[in-house]
Amino acid sequence: MGITKICCIGAGYVGGPTMAIIAQKCPQIQVTVVDLNQERIAAWNDEDVNNIPIYEPGLSDIVKEARGRNLFFSTEVEKAIDEAEMIFISVNTPTKTYGKGKGMAADLKFIELCARQIAKVSKTDKIVVEKSTLPVRTAEAIKSILDNTGNGVKFQILSNPEFLAEGTAVQDLLNPDRILIGGETTDEGQKAIQALVDVYANWVDKDRILTTNVWSSELSKLTANAFLAQRISSINAMSELCEKTGADVNEVARAIGMDSRIGPKFLKASVGFGGSCFQKDILNLVYIAKSYGLNEVADYWEQVIIMNDHQKRRFSDNIVKTLYNTVSGKKITFLGWAFKKDTNDTRESAAIYVADDLINENAKISVYDPKVSRKKVLADLDYLQTRNSEENADNVLSFENPYEACAGAHAIAVLTEWDEFVAYDWQKIYDSMQKPAFAFDGRNILNASDLQKIGFVYHAIGS
């Protein structure tokens, strides 16, 4: 018989959307998503489905369809673990901020807590699925915790990394390039793999469901993110060379992307990649390589991060330099704060670092983002601990209306590629600004010649 009850620990950007799709596509399975964060669970249960805690196009409709039918959000972690035959661990695995591996290694304390709680509560055999992104060989540690409880329950551990990207999570989940499942090669391991394959086979073609050993699956997730981020750092490195040589990075990207061996995706030069995954996962990869003494491997991947930091710094330096070497007291308006369009997530967004640099130069930052609140902007800056909260609050204003955010500004900086920015009345914005009016397009989304015709001094990335 197939799985009838799933529990997912962690109701975040991965757990929430992934379980919503499983519930939608498998009405025969009861899916319960649990989290320690009561506020987050309350938001998932909000009567008005537009108030769910994660903004993803199409997600609220799916939650509306399945919630209360076979999709449940709860803080009763132990009850959900006890009842489930299959438990997904989808908790956060941030970069360690203390002790050995500080600033590099993944912090696995939340994972270990989950494993201990599963071990404590379980009375029947369970399949435990690693959905979080984990260092290679983490399953070994989880197994050792689960196998040493002495209560006779049998556990199978699978690795099933998630490849969704934020902003397109629903589409990515409905139509994944592949589903990756790693498990033990024993009979029990293969049975557990099959149980998870059967869940996904409700909507994913079998030939897109890939099964491997556990270690390959764990390492493939870090590898995929490292390769994707490396493409962005590679094109960003070329963007700097383009600016010096008269080449145009958009043209270069198009030219190389038409080579079928290279391909066109992930070649968009930008102010630098952000998001909760790329930096964290590459640092983790670098740490793992170093821990095996593979220093050349570690240095190779670390360069992707070094280049990304350089790109963010280059953007803020260019603003200061262009504004006659001082932004002191000047109003600089940020269009966008999220790390990419169509998400309310701001983790590691380039906007945070660019703002921090400019505030160090005494600039006054005004922010407009269609999905990010002032509270979040200030929390992001406070997290850097560059200055105290009051100083951050004094130097940052937030607006609900983009035209008000831009009025009186010395410069506008586009930090996120929200579609609506392109459609703005740029003449109206120009008329309301200080002159000369500068525009720094960190996403190369605005029409350079239109803006220049209006009178803007327009700076793009890589041209």
Given ligand NAD, ligand UDX, none, residue 232, with its beta carbon under 5 to 8 Å by kind, binds ligand UDX
DSSP class per residue in 345-412: --TT-HHHHHHHHHHHTT-EEEEE-TT--HHHHHHHHHHHTSS-HHHHHHHEEE-SSHHHHHTT-SEE
The reply on whether position 276 binds ligand NAD by CB under 6 A is yes
Q: Which two tokens stand for residue 381?
A: 């800056």
Structure tokens at 451: 């803006």
Site string for ligand UDX, 222-261 (x = CB under 6 A): ---x--x---x-----------------------------
Burial of 152 (0-12, 13-18, 19+ CB in 10 A): exposed
For the record, the structure tokens of 393 come out as 């609050």
Under the criterion CB under 6 A, does residue 461 sit at the interface with ligand UDX? no
User: Of residues 270, 279, 308, 316, which one binds ligand UDX by CB under 6 A?
Assistant: 270
User: Residue 460: which H helix or E strand, with range?
Assistant: strand 457-460
- Does 357 help bind ligand UDX (rule: CB under 6 A)? no
21-34 per-residue burial string, b: 16 or more CB within 10 A, e: under 16: bbbbbbeebbbbbb
Partners of 335 in the β-ladder: 368, 414
Distances (CA, A) of 439 to 236, 312, 353, 397, 442: 19, 16, 18, 19, 9
Least gap, CB of 340 to ligand UDX (angstroms): 4
Contact yes or no for 269/253 (Cβ under 8 A): yes
Identify residues 58-77 at the interface with ligand NAD (CB under 6 A).
77
First to last CA, the chain: 60
* Residues labelled catalytic: 277
Q: Which of residues 116-175 bind ligand UDX (CB under 6 A)?
A: 162-166
Instruction: Find the binder of ligand NAD among 24, 133, 138, 366 (CB under 6 A).
Output: 133
Q: Which is nearer to ligand NAD, 340 or 459 (CB)?
A: 340
CB nearest ligand NAD: which residue?
12
Stretch that binds ligand NAD, among 34-42, 78-86, 181-189, 283-291 (CB under 6 A): 34-42
Nearer to ligand NAD, 52 or 446 (CB): 52
Cβ neighbors of 419 (< 8 A, separation 6 or more) are 341
Q: Which residues pair with 7 in a beta bridge?
A: 32, 87
Binding status of residue 339 toward ligand UDX by CB under 6 A:
yes
Q: How far is the CB of 228 from ligand UDX (least distance, A)?
A: 5
Question: Contact positions toward ligand NAD, by CB under 6 A?
Answer: 9-15, 34-37, 40, 77, 90-93, 110, 113-114, 132-133, 162, 164, 166, 276-277
Question: Contact positions toward ligand UDX, by CB under 6 A?
Answer: 162-166, 225, 228, 232, 266-268, 270, 273-275, 277-278, 339-340
Output the known binding site for substrate. Answer: 162-166, 221-225, 261, 268-274, 339-340, 443
